[in-house]
Amino acid sequence: MNNGRRAGHQRQNRLLGQNTGGAAYVLYRKLLFKMVQELGRDQCHRCGQEIENYESFSIDHIESWRLADDPKAVFFDLENIAFSHRSCNEYAGATAQNAAKTHCPQGHEYTEDNTYRYGNGRYCRSCSRERMRIKRRELVLA
């Protein structure tokens, strides 16, 4: 990029208080949120509460595209799009991703016998037993 063009971008960034790409993203979100409000679609499809501002507004997929047989088709299917609070969407996405996992990070399978739940989490019994063995060994050696 030549110096003149770079100086122009720097001036735009200074005027906007952020880079132009980030500013455009905020503008798109504000425009979309305003249209969603005008259409009366500003209710979170996950919790049912009103979405009150663009900062908490999120485009959401009704069916998780990550778990679909054809992720690309599900991602771009407009009938699969709804709106939600960012926090509701982020929680649902993390929950869906974790639910799809079949093995713990150490490679043990999540079976009914090898899994226990605590709070909102799912934990591996094999790993838990191994951690307890190590702790007991450390206590005996101390």
pLDDT, tens digit, 9 for 90 and up, residues 78-93: 999 999 988 888 776 6
- The residue type found at 40 is G
pLDDT, tens digit, 9 for 90 and up, residues 6-42: 888 888 889 888 888 888 988 999 999 999 999 999 9
Place of tokens 């996405």: 93
pLDDT of residue 97: 66
- Answer whether 127's CB lies under 8 Å from 110's CB: no
More confident residue, 31 or 46: 31
- Answer whether 58's CB lies under 8 Å from 85's CB: yes
Helices 20-38, 3-16: inter-axial angle, 10-degree rounding: 40
Q: What is the pTM of this model?
A: 0.58
Q: Cα angle at 70 between 87 and 59, to 5 degrees?
A: 25
The three-class DSSP label of residue 19 is coil
pLDDT, tens digit, 9 for 90 and up, residues 108-125: 998 888 988 877 678 899
